[in-house]
Amino acid sequence: MSTPTDDRLHKPSVAIVGGGLTGAAIAYHLANSAVPANITVFEPRPEIGRGLAYGTTDPAHRINVPASKMSLLPSDEKHFINWIAANDATADDADALAHDGHQYIRRALFGRYVSAHLQPHLDAGRIDHIRAAVVDIARASPHRWRITTADGASYHADVVVLATTHPPPGIPRELREGVGDDARLITDATVPGVLDTIAPTARVVIVGTGLTMADVVASLDQRGHRGPIYAFSRRGLASRGHASAPYEPFGDFTRSATSARALLRSVRETISHAKRNNIPWQPVIDAVRAQAWTFWPKLSIAERRRIVHRLRPFWDVHRFRIAPQLKALLDRRQADGTLTLRAASLVGAKAFPDRLEIKVRPRAESVLETITADHLILTTGPAHDAILATQPHLASLARQGLITADALGLGIACDRQGYARTSAGTSHSDLFIAGPLARAEFGELMGLPQVTTYAELIAGEVAATLARFSAPQDDKIVSAQ
């Protein structure tokens, strides 16, 4: 890095580890705040704001909500849609407009939008981007952090924000033992180019039937694949579609959601009430999502755990809906017989020179079924319960007792201000947990509106913490040693 200017030497510093949507949004809000601060984002990718979801360049990958409901600014819902119009950003995407009248744009476009709004702050020096992976974070002193990157450089900061990416899927034991080291097993379908070697007629088996499965099918179809695809999960649940027309959220769950059972009963009753009023189920689920931040903190850990373990699969397929274009593609592939969705459990797999054999037990059946494949793809979702072991800086913080896994297996423990909790149960006021990793405390942090709202909240908490710091010493700035 260049030598810090006098102006930078007299500002407190914040290090944001992770430059996907969450990290980008926090940096953006901090840069626009009244609190002077040195803001540094550690992100190996070339651009901030293009993380796992929005860094994809695959034209088959689309957002799963209307573009009109996406925005970097929670207070300006039309910010993104206005940017699209001002830049004629969908001119090369004839399929962006769906039959429901909404635009479901390519995910890469939203990444471009976020990056475009960070760039002026980068150019002006209000945000610094260090293209390196963080491998260690530790206390340099009681009120200062030391951040070490993979190239051996060390940096210091007053405040650290963990905006870490999603971990890859965990490999089931049944696959590790049979095909764990076989090149035909694709364990992370989000890796660029990983699907390029699959032949157009290849037989493909996919473990998982959610949104990632849909992305994989769309990507293969885009590449000209017309071979058979067999996708399965324990319940065989696939993401549902959107309502045919816009509706306001329907229902009030702020008082009735006192337990997992009470919440489920209230949702079912409200859906029945909505149906009698010619309202589909989607607005009811939207109301649950919007009100989760209100009722979730009131639930005991035991009730939260019941919801996560027993209701989450059903919640996910109703909450995270599929874009109309993608649904039409899946419907077409199922109709022509090249896509099969099944409810089945994985039993085992074996590798042979000319094929893979995957054994499954169809739901409610005792007889095993063997599926022959040329490729096997995991789309079971991020292994959030193993997050502390998947990234070295998190593992280091955990070994020091400075962070701990949450009680629900969703991420990292924090309090309502986003302060990380130690293994002893105390909180840091200078170490924040951002993004989906804070779900155990906040309940719903996967959808974009919740991610950006929470990012704004965390930015406010970080700004308040930075404002309490006195003028730093020369080495207090985020700087290389």
Annotate 295-351 with DSSP letters as a single string: HGGGS-HHHHHHIIIIIHHHHHHHHSPPPHHHHHHHHHHHHTTSEEEEEEEEEEEEE
* C-alpha atoms less than 13 angstroms from C-alpha of 236 in its C-beta half-sphere: 11
Amino acid identity of residue 232, one-letter, is F
Residue with tokens 């989450």: 312
Q: Domain range for residue 303?
A: 260-319
One domain, residues 52 and 130: yes
What is the structure's pLDDT at 82?
A: 96
One domain, residues 204 and 279: no
Residue with tokens 């779900």: 439
One domain, residues 432 and 362: no
Establish if 277 belongs to a structural domain.
yes
What is the structure's pLDDT at 473?
A: 47
Rounded mean pLDDT for each run of 10 residues along the chain, 481 residues in total: 46 95 96 92 95 89 92 94 95 91 94 96 96 96 94 96 86 87 92 93 97 96 97 94 91 90 95 96 94 91 94 91 94 97 96 96 92 96 84 96 94 95 93 93 84 93 86 46 48
Cα-based distances in Å from 234 to 20, 170, 209, 259, 364 = 31, 16, 9, 25, 10
* C-alpha atoms less than 13 angstroms from C-alpha of 214 in its C-beta half-sphere: 25
Establish if 431 belongs to a structural domain.
yes
* Structure-block tokens of residue 458: 């965390």
Q: Which residues pair with 355 in a beta bridge?
A: 352
What is the structure's pLDDT at 471?
A: 44
Establish if 250 belongs to a structural domain.
no
Q: Which residues of 387-419 are buried (b: 16+ CB within 10 A; e: fewer)?
A: bbebbebbbbbbeeebbbbbebebbbbbeeebb
* Structure-block tokens of residue 101: 């009248």
What is the structure's pLDDT at 196?
A: 94
Phi/psi of residue 124, each to 5°? -85, -5
One domain, residues 351 and 208: yes
Establish if 247 belongs to a structural domain.
no
Specify the DSSP element, H or E, that contains 205.
Answer: strand 204-207
Cα-based distances in Å from 316 to 202, 210, 325, 347 = 30, 8, 19, 24
Q: Is the dihedral of CA 74, 77, 78, 81 positive or negative?
A: positive
Query: Which has the closest alpha carbon to 117: 68, 80, 91?
Result: 80
Establish if 481 belongs to a structural domain.
no
Query: Which has the closest alpha carbon to 434: 147, 2, 18?
Result: 18
One domain, residues 127 and 187: no
What is the structure's pLDDT at 364?
A: 86
DSSP notation for 404-462: -B-TTSSSB-B-TT-EEEPTTS-EEEEEEE-GGGGHHHHS--SSHHHHHHHHHHHHHHH
What is the structure's pLDDT at 6?
A: 43
Looking up residue 122, the CATH number of its domain turns out to be 3.50.50.60
One domain, residues 335 and 357: yes
What is the structure's pLDDT at 2?
A: 37
One domain, residues 329 and 314: no
What is the rounded distance in angstroms from the CA atom of residue 106 to the CA atom of residue 50? 13
One domain, residues 84 and 227: no
Establish if 94 belongs to a structural domain.
yes
What is the rounded distance in angstroms from the CA atom of residue 134 to the CA atom of residue 398? 15
Among residues 319, 342, 359, which one ends one of the domains?
Answer: 319
* Structure-block tokens of residue 267: 């949702």
Q: Which residues pair with 344 in a beta bridge?
A: 362
Give the start-end residues of each E strand in 66-115: none
Helix, strand, or coil (residue 368) = coil
Phi/psi of residue 129, each to 5°? -110, 115
What is the rounded distance in angstroms from the CA atom of residue 441 to the CA atom of residue 419? 11
| Residues listed for the chain | 481
One domain, residues 79 and 94: yes
* Structure-block tokens of residue 137: 């974070």
CB 18 within 8 A of CB 455: no
Among residues 276, 295, 319, which one ends one of the domains?
Answer: 319
**Number of domains within the chain:** 3
Amino acid identity of residue 478, one-letter, is V
Query: Which has the closest alpha carbon to 190: 168, 160, 165?
Result: 168
One domain, residues 356 and 451: no
What is the rounded distance in angstroms from the CA atom of residue 304 to the CA atom of residue 308? 6
Amino acid identity of residue 169, one-letter, is P
Establish if 251 belongs to a structural domain.
no
One domain, residues 198 and 341: yes
Rg of the chain on CA atoms, in Å = 23
* Structure-block tokens of residue 285: 């689920």
One domain, residues 96 and 43: yes
Establish if 249 belongs to a structural domain.
no
